[in-house]
Amino acid sequence: MITYNAGNYDVVVIGGGHAGCEAALASARMGCKTLLVTLSMENIALMPCNPSIGGPAKSQLVREIDALGGEMAKNIDKSHIQMRMINTGKGPAVQALRAQADKYEYYREMLKTLLSQENLDVKMAEVERIETVNKRVTGIVTRTGAKFGCKAIVITSGTYLKGRIIIGDLAFDGGPNGQFPAVKLSDSLRDLGLALGRFKTGTPPRIDRKSVDFSKMIEQPGDERPLRFSYISPRVKRPQLSCWLTHSNKRTHQIVMDNLDRSPLFTGLIKGRGPRYCPSFEDKVVRFSDKKSHQIFIEPEGRSTDEMYVQGMNTSLPEDVQLKVLRSIPGLENVRMIRTGYAIEYDYVIPSQLKPTLETKEIENLFTAGQINGTSGYEEAAGQGLIAGINAALKVKEKEPLILKRSEAYIGVMIDDLVTGDIDEPYRLLTSRAEYRLILRQDNADLRLTEIGRKIGLVNDYRWRIFCEKKEILEKEIERLKETTFTPADEEMAEFLTGKDTAPLRDRVSLWEILKRPEIKIKDLVEEGLVDDNDLDILEQLEIQSKYEGYIKKQEEQIKKFEKMENRAIPEDIDYSEVFGLSNEAVQKLNEIRPVSIGQASRISGVNPADINVLLIFLEKKRRK
Amino acid sequence: MLFNDDIAAIATPPGEGGIAIIRLSGSSVIEKVSRIFKPYNPEVDIKNKPGYTMTLGWILDDKGEYIDEVLVSIMRAPKSYTGEDVVEINCHGGILPARKCLEEVLNHGIRLAEPGEFTRRAFLNGRMDMSQVEAVIEIIRAKSEKSMKLALKQLKGEKKEDFNRLEDILTSINAAIEASIDFPDEVDEPDYAGLEENIKIVLDEVNKFIEAARRGEVYREGIKIVISGKPNVGKSSLLNLLLRKDKAIVTDIPGTTRDIVEDYLNINGIPVKIMDTAGIRETDDIVERIGVEKSGQAIKEADLVIFLLDVASGITEEDIRIYQGLNKEKVIVLVNKEDLAEKNISEEEIKKLFGGVRVIRGSVKEKTGLDELISAITEMVLEGKTDYDGEELIFNLRQQKALEKAREHLISVLDSLGQVPLDCTAVDVRGALEALGEITGKNIKEEIINRIFQDFCIGK
């Protein structure tokens, strides 16, 4: 192939999925001339698996992306068909918003945003090669011979790398959703010296709405109140479409058991490691054989389609068995399958080869983000894409990189887990991975991160104004609530408290303290005229910050301790084999991971507290020289 | 690990010795110690003392009560072992007061030193020459590894299983909470009644470990018993009987014992330091008065007081005055001289005056009631647990603190269960588990996540 010079960019993003869109938009918005290269214009922001965004940990993540000036929250606000707040009874830290998306609308909205973005060009092409000089990227070459020069590259190629689809005993090379796999890019990465691993994931069949009997299912409607992910989306309620719940039964499970000899999971055809949190249906039946039934959710894939997603039925059984399994389920007796479920194996870049900026340690200015880093989930991909895009742009502009701490954001938890740990299954964020869950709430992502977003140049004036106003009102209200006090002699207050079935005052007490009582809600105070009828977000903040003050303070104390170790930086050029007293395993792990701080070093498996002590002494001695 | 904050540790080896030394190092240790130290001479302030000086005085608790009489040595930077300001508190009463003093110090913004930390600071501050560096690092390394492994190695058989079991229960509870939070569609909220029950089981076990740790401490570090009572009630005779030798001067003249007579003995394997106090009474005799003052101090520091009465003389006002100065929870009343014909103490009187206190009748002279006294002592110091099985746990102070932290979190779970949402409950459940993890060194987070996938059918 004869190549031609097709132009120069600051940043090239390879892949137009959830990571790629965020990376490209962030880079362009930060003023870098950016190119997004995608295999197919029809697959921008594609949701090849479940049609939903949000849920525990993920909803926090989406709001963090929003606060930093990312796109995902705004895009799902524009294109959802249902929104629900889940975990509402379990506390503010784990309460989570979840949206069902219209996959097609989600794609169209994102495409519109990309194409109208200043500084951003979108091109359809397959990238075959990354070009480097002295271990530093210089450009890319496409299959059709176009050669683009650039200063930084973000690869967000998802599950396309050497993708292989498996259905029963059928296996063929392919990307998700009937797309072509990216074969040569995988080899190009290997040539650059990156170590690749292989994971497996899967997706359930899709069925035709017209063939489903909903009368045998339980309806799952959206919430009544208008909900939104983005702090700046308008508060409007879009027309809601319901999801439906049905259950598998003994007969279903029998069909699975009878056909295990045809399941690639059990015949050994599938070798990649699958995620435990997203097992195939056949796996669930085998591992939890005492369970008589499993939940199956039937979810619309959009307003303009009759295709529905069979949540819970992720499978790689042969097509005929899939159909038999489906038809044993109440409401699906006559179901017609539109797309067959499949398992997909793909290459991923072992993420311990990355810096916390998501730049590869091996090749300067080469960043990777999303499923290529061994994660799963649209939200996880978008979060990494945003950070990779930001850091690529910062690197081009020769500015300090952005690294979020575990105590600042779920994004920080995720990236730290990726670059520090040994992941042995596709990585998904869980709230239980976060040490400071009570601080990393979805309701305060803007308070945590907007200022950071503004500093790096992703928060526009409109968002900034809204944020500043909110913050100002909030601070004033908190102060006022703390200063407004009542005594047992205040008759109106006494009457109000009696009416709410809570004990009368004994001493002078502030409104802030009164709000802490479980019986008193913020809306009661608003109704009583004690608190201004402010924006819902502000009222929510007042309530959470007052009621959970004790627990929040506990966690803030823990964070102070944690950050002492995080802030103790380790110089990049340290050679661990020269540090006397480290165990051999520690030397090897530390040389491989190259942690940026003592805190990160202490989280590496195989590095024990004694090693950390030795390392601290070494660094301190070095510092004092 | 930090390099500039204030640290403290007991520098003398554990066990009973004449003195124990607490060593402190850091930029503000002198100021911090001065807050809890009251010099004999009110004009003296250790903050103004030059290096290499000693000051006599008392360490006080937060209520201003004396913990121990001590000598405080000051060494100013850079002329000290660590190269920083160093204070050494010489507790003259052995390891137990030293521990109390240490706890007081730790309440004042000074943290417990890590193993080898003084040596490390000495090294960092250039107090050692480079040829010693490698040896020092080896020592530090060995010490930090040892401190982690030590207690667990000592756990054997049933006890180890118990420990694993409670960690297991707690992991399950935590996994159930986390699973319901992270996978709300698939996993229901945990059943609160069951959760409460399980937390109580764990708390019970943790309490047992803490008790065992404390009992272990009793065997390791011993206890102090003071014999108290009015003059000529038979204190010295009791001491002699227990020691089976004539150490105190025994006469019939009240006030013969003018100072504290002390000695060591062994009661059922527990090292005991026993003290006969001067007869406590109003007196003009200056020598005796000092003795009386000292005995007041000894009573305060005692783990147990044997209070003697004379059955012949009846209960006098003096008896009552002395008794009122004692901590009722630490007293055994011994009604002595039961061998005499004249008996002026009735059961009714005893009930009225010493309700709830262990009372033994006997005669030191005839050696009656002695066995009962010994078993009462054993029971009281082991807090009612006489089933000593020879496997008392020896946790170090750090591990004991971790157990106490776990207990604190568990109590907080029980106090708030159902009143706060699950995410708050989770903070304390996780806190308890992390505290135990400090002892076992396990990676709590991975354990919980593994348990979630093992116990619950997750995945849509």
Quick one: pLDDT at residue B151? 47
**A157 falls within a domain:** no
**A20 falls within a domain:** no
Q: Which of A352-356, B45-49, B68-72, B219-223 has the highest mean pLDDT?
A: A352-356
Q: Residue B156 above 80 pLDDT?
A: no
A228 CA: distance to closest CA in chain B (Å): 20
Q: Residue A44 above 90 pLDDT?
A: yes
- B231 with B95, same domain: the answer is no
- Which residues, including other chains, have CB under 8 Å from residue B28's CB and lie 6 or more apart? B6, B85
Measured CA to CA, the distance from residue B262 to residue B248 in angstroms comes to: 9
Q: In this complex, do B184 and A614 lie within 8 Å of one another by their Cβ atoms?
A: no
Q: Residue B429 above 60 pLDDT?
A: yes
Instruction: Tell me which of B182, B187, B413 to substitute to probe the interface with A (most A C-beta atoms closer than 10 Å).
Output: B182
Q: In this complex, do B178 and A284 lie within 8 Å of one another by their Cβ atoms?
A: no
- A578 with A539, same domain: the answer is no
**A431 falls within a domain:** no
Which residues from A are below 8 Å from B445, CB to CB? Answer: 432-433, 435
pLDDT, tens digit, 9 for 90 and up, residues A234-288: 998 899 999 999 999 999 999 999 999 999 988 888 887 778 888 899 999 998 8
Q: Residue B144 above 80 pLDDT?
A: no
B367 CA: distance to closest CA in chain A (Å): 57
Measured CA to CA, the distance from residue B86 to residue B73 in angstroms comes to: 8
Q: How confident is the model at residue B95 (pLDDT cuts 50, 70, 90)?
A: low
- A210 with A283, same domain: the answer is yes
pLDDT, tens digit, 9 for 90 and up, residues A254-264: 999 999 999 99
Domain of residue B253 covers 222-381
Mean pLDDT of chain A: 93
- A292 with A327, same domain: the answer is yes
Which position has the token pair 């042995």? A424
Instruction: Tell me which of B424, B447, B450, B456 to substitute to probe the interface with A (most A C-beta atoms closer than 10 Å).
Output: B424
- A220 with A335, same domain: the answer is yes
- CB burial of A274-310 (b: ≥16 within 10 Å; e: otherwise) equals bbbbbbbbbbbbbeeeeeeebebbbbbbbeeebbbbb
Residue B77: DSSP 8-state: T
Where a domain ends, among A343, A373, A400?
Answer: A343
- B266 with B349, same domain: the answer is yes
Q: How many domains does chain B have?
A: 3
- B362 with B402, same domain: the answer is no
**B386 falls within a domain:** no
Phi/psi-derived region of residue A28, left when phi > 0, alpha when psi is between -120 and 50, beta in every other case: alpha
- Asked if the bond preceding B254 is cis, omega within 30° of 0, the reply is no
Angle between helices A584-593 and A609-624 (to 10 degrees): 70
Nearest to residue A426, comparing CAs of A386, A381, A385?
A381
- The token pair that represents A147 in the structure block: 């050669």
For chain B, the residues whose C-beta falls within 8 A of a C-beta of chain A are 1-3, 114, 116, 120, 123-124, 126, 133-134, 137-138, 140-141, 144-145, 148, 178, 180-186, 189, 419-424, 426-427, 443, 445, 448-449, 452-453, 457-460
A128 CA: distance to closest CA in chain B (Å): 36
Measured CA to CA, the distance from residue B58 to residue B67 in angstroms comes to: 7
**A77 falls within a domain:** no
- B167 with B304, same domain: the answer is no
Beta partners for A8? A149
- B258 with B362, same domain: the answer is yes
Q: How confident is the model at residue B388 (pLDDT cuts 50, 70, 90)?
A: very low
User: What is the CATH classification number for the domain harbouring A575?
Assistant: 1.10.150.570
Measured CA to CA, the distance from residue B119 to residue B116 in angstroms comes to: 5
Helices (H), A169-318: 184-191, 250-258, 264-267, 281-287
B427 CA: distance to closest CA in chain A (Å): 8
Asked if residue A541 lies in contact with residue A522, where contact means CB atoms within 8 angstroms, the answer is no
Q: In this complex, do B449 and A614 lie within 8 Å of one another by their Cβ atoms?
A: no
Nearest to residue A376, comparing CAs of A1, A112, A57?
A57
Tell me the residue length of chain B. Answer: 460
Where a domain ends, among B134, B149, B164?
Answer: B149
Q: In this complex, do B133 and A609 lie within 8 Å of one another by their Cβ atoms?
A: no
Which residues from A are below 8 Å from B460, CB to CB? Answer: 50, 278, 295, 297, 311-312, 314
**A611 falls within a domain:** yes
A595 CA: distance to closest CA in chain B (Å): 17
- B403 with B327, same domain: the answer is no
Domain of residue A327 covers 206-343
- B276 with B373, same domain: the answer is yes
Q: In this complex, do B1 and A56 lie within 8 Å of one another by their Cβ atoms?
A: no
Angle at A545 between CA A544 and CA A549, to 5 degrees: 110
Measured CA to CA, the distance from residue B266 to residue A367 in angstroms comes to: 71
**B97 falls within a domain:** yes
Which residues from A are below 8 Å from B457, CB to CB? Answer: 284, 287-288, 291, 294
Given CB atoms, is A93 within the 8 Å cutoff of chain B?
A: yes
Given CB atoms, is A609 within the 8 Å cutoff of chain B?
A: yes
User: What is the CATH classification number for the domain harbouring B128?
Assistant: 3.30.1360.120
User: What is the CATH classification number for the domain harbouring A487?
Assistant: 1.10.10.1800
- B211 with B265, same domain: the answer is no
Q: In this complex, do B186 and A278 lie within 8 Å of one another by their Cβ atoms?
A: no
B83 CA: distance to closest CA in chain A (Å): 14
How far CA A559 is from CA of A407, A565, B341, in Å, comes to 6, 10, 72
Quick one: pLDDT at residue A343? 93
Q: Which helix (H) or strand (E) holds B351?
A: helix B347-354
Q: In this complex, do B426 and A437 lie within 8 Å of one another by their Cβ atoms?
A: yes
Quick one: pLDDT at residue B157? 56
**A424 falls within a domain:** no
- B240 with B341, same domain: the answer is yes
Q: Residue B385 above 60 pLDDT?
A: no
pLDDT, tens digit, 9 for 90 and up, residues A565-592: 898 899 988 999 888 888 888 999 999 9
- A518 with A466, same domain: the answer is yes
Tell me the residue length of chain A. Answer: 625
Quick one: pLDDT at residue B129? 59
**A528 falls within a domain:** yes
Q: Which helix (H) or strand (E) holds A203?
A: strand A196-203
Where a domain ends, among B149, B169, B191?
Answer: B149
Q: Residue A21 above 50 pLDDT?
A: yes
Q: Which helix (H) or strand (E) holds A243?
A: strand A243-247
Phi and psi angles of residue A349, each rounded to the nearest 5 degrees, phi first = -85, 125
Which residues from B are below 8 Å from A276, CB to CB? Answer: 453, 458-459
pLDDT, tens digit, 9 for 90 and up, residues B391-425: 455 566 667 788 899 999 999 999 988 888 999 99
pLDDT, tens digit, 9 for 90 and up, residues B268-320: 767 787 888 755 555 556 655 666 666 777 788 788 899 988 888 888 888 88
| Partner B, chain A 431-450, Cβ-Cβ below 8 Å | 431-433, 435, 437-438
Given CB atoms, is A623 within the 8 Å cutoff of chain B?
A: no
Q: Residue B81 above 80 pLDDT?
A: yes
- B204 with B115, same domain: the answer is no
Which residues from A are below 8 Å from B433, CB to CB? Answer: none
Instruction: Tell me which of B133, B171, B423 to substitute to probe the interface with A (most A C-beta atoms closer than 10 Å).
Output: B423
Which residues from A are below 8 Å from B427, CB to CB? Answer: 437-438, 551, 554-555
pLDDT, tens digit, 9 for 90 and up, residues A180-202: 787 888 888 999 999 999 999 88
- A618 with A496, same domain: the answer is no
- A287 with A225, same domain: the answer is yes
Asked if residue A246 lies in contact with residue A311, where contact means CB atoms within 8 angstroms, the answer is no
User: What is the CATH classification number for the domain harbouring B173?
Assistant: 1.20.120.430
Q: Residue B249 above 50 pLDDT?
A: no
Q: How confident is the model at residue A449 (pLDDT cuts 50, 70, 90)?
A: very high
Q: Which of A455-469, B62-76, B169-183 has the highest mean pLDDT?
A: A455-469
Where a domain ends, among B149, B172, B199?
Answer: B149
Nearest CA in chain B to A547: B420
Residue A612, Cβ neighbours under 10 Å: how many?
20
| Partner B, chain A 292-321, Cβ-Cβ below 8 Å | 294-295, 297, 311-312, 314
Of B182, B424, B443, the CB nearest to A57: B182
User: What is the CATH classification number for the domain harbouring A336?
Assistant: 2.40.30.260
Given CB atoms, is A616 within the 8 Å cutoff of chain B?
A: yes
Q: What is the CA B330 to chain-centroid distance, rounded?
A: 15
Which residues from B are below 8 Å from A548, CB to CB? Answer: 424
- B31 with B144, same domain: the answer is yes
Residue B408, Cβ neighbours under 10 Å: how many?
14
Where a domain ends, among A504, A519, A554?
Answer: A554
Q: How many domains does chain A have?
A: 3
Q: Residue A126 above 60 pLDDT?
A: yes
- A470 with A575, same domain: the answer is no
Measured CA to CA, the distance from residue B397 to residue A64 in angstroms comes to: 42
Given CB atoms, is A621 within the 8 Å cutoff of chain B?
A: yes
Quick one: pLDDT at residue B387? 45
Where a domain ends, among A498, A525, A554?
Answer: A554
More confident residue, A482 or B379: A482
- A485 with A584, same domain: the answer is no
**A291 falls within a domain:** yes
- B290 with B337, same domain: the answer is yes
Q: Is the ipTM of this complex over 0.90?
A: no
Quick one: pLDDT at residue B285? 61
